[in-house]
Amino acid sequence: MTAQPADAAVDARLGLRGDRGPILGALMLSTALVALDVTILATASTTVARELGAFEQVPWLFSAYTLAQAVTVPLYGRLADVFGRKRVMMVGIGLFLLGSVLCAVAWSMPALIWFRVLQGLGAGAIMPMSMTIAGDIYTLAERAKIQGYLASVWAASSVLGPTLGGVFSQFVSWRWIFWVNVPIAAVAAVVLWRRFHEKEREGEREPVDYLGAALLTAGSTALVLGLLEGGTAWGWSSWQSIGIFVASAVLLAAFTVSARRSAHPIFDLGLLRRRVVGASTAASLMIGVITLGLTTYVPIYAQGVLGTGPLVAGFALASLMVGWPLASTLSGRVYLSIGFRWTGAIGAGTVVAGSLLTLGLGTGSQFWHVSAAVFVIGLGMGMVSVPTLLAAQHSVGWGERGAVTATNMFARSIGQAVGVAALGAAVNAVTTVGPNGTPEGPGLAQAMHLVFWCVTACAALLTVTALLLPRDHPSDTVGARA
């Protein structure tokens, strides 16, 4: 896939040489690294605990990775706007690769958890850089298709991840879950190093606000950690929860003061005051809540209420991942015809329709009823997630695109963390937790219905945010890209 003539000015400024196809392939491989490591360890966690011990620490294998990834995204986004995408991407792949090798040779559960943190630090750079680089090198008309390709990587990984984890842990060794990352990361790094070239920014580089970066990272860490572990590792009214949220509030307040005083803050709060960026960020927050709610509780509903096995429950959730990339790929034709706002509104309305279908699910529902409802939601999510991100990217120049993309992704991570806390609290209020750590008992059906109501409410809010996107048709010009 070579650059079209209309892209010549942008390619000259970026210093791109050669085909964009290999660069896209490397971005997809990089995305696969992060996507696989979200799910591939799930089916092997029991085997890991059996070998390394400390079964009670298993949840930290996931929380540590998610936390490190989420809180570093805003920092990497800003650094990319200052130092360039390639440098930040190479750092991210390098950290992920180092973390994978160390995880593969981990000698204890605490060591494995800390090495998962290192992986998460790499993942925090890889995800926003993949989307930002795609936004830099492809035209607006092409970006929806490209985002569809990246979304398909997540869809495939959500299905392949648990399967590969089970195969490695049963037939080889759970350590191969991490060794398999090495060739993937190496190929992606080599291709990007050789094919993707950026021109050095002219003029003096803006200084990096290291104080603001430290305050934002520390405050975000406390917030996400409190949301992830509250109600699980400790009670919501415990001194741990109160202390961690107070610390988060103080640190984030200090960051706000620092950002307002800094000439070049690590995260410009003024971006959120722009209608397009603010709407996109709010939409991403709702997308995070909805996605987490479905991926967590649809399998529990299928198994605990309908009585299906884990494999069938997984297929029900896979319907979400099938519909999402399909709609993402098609959304480009739609928003170029009717604009970002109405494309997003159609997608959000479809999410509402699918959510309403979940409200009709009960103890006598069939498996295909669940799959159909989740598939409709997936179609809507694919249709709304692309225009909300691209509208924000399209509204800024190269020097702010990394920060805007990172803000969008950070909001989704926060939404997922909030979803864990809010939905978990709602479910625990009407049911009991069994010995395997999942809700059970006669109140389970009622709890799942409450989850579906929460998802429907978030879908309605998503529709409101979509209506705040720009109404005009996006112009596909080189100037808009640059």
What mean pLDDT value characterizes the chain? 79
Q: Is the pLDDT of residue 67 over 50?
A: yes
For the chain, which residues make up each domain, given as ranges? 6-198, 209-265, 270-477
Summarised one tens digit per residue, pLDDT across range 387-442 is 888 888 887 777 777 778 888 888 888 887 777 777 777 777 776 655 555 555 56
Summarised one tens digit per residue, pLDDT across range 102-134 is 999 998 888 998 999 899 899 989 988 888 888
Summarised one tens digit per residue, pLDDT across range 163-215 is 777 778 778 888 888 998 999 999 999 999 988 877 666 556 677 778 888 88
At residue 76, the pLDDT reads 87
Confidence of residue 9 (pLDDT cuts 50, 70, 90): very low
∠ CA 110-115-118, nearest 5°, is 140
Is 343:331 a contact under the CB 8 Å cutoff?
yes
Q: Is the pLDDT of residue 477 over 80?
A: no
At residue 17, the pLDDT reads 43
Q: Which residues contact 298 (CB under 8 A, 6 or more apart)?
A: 313, 316, 317, 320, 370, 374
Confidence of residue 8 (pLDDT cuts 50, 70, 90): very low
The percent of residues above 70 in pLDDT, for the chain, comes to 85
| CA dist., res. 131 & res. 219, Å (int) | 25
Summarised one tens digit per residue, pLDDT across range 217-233 is 888 888 878 877 776 67
Summarised one tens digit per residue, pLDDT across range 299-349 is 777 877 777 766 676 677 777 777 887 887 787 778 878 888 888 899 999
> Which range has the worst mean pLDDT, 10-24, 71-85, 281-295?
10-24
At residue 437, the pLDDT reads 53
Q: Enter the CATH code of domain 270-477.
A: 1.20.1250.20
At residue 439, the pLDDT reads 58
Does domain 6-198 match CATH 2.60.40.10?
no
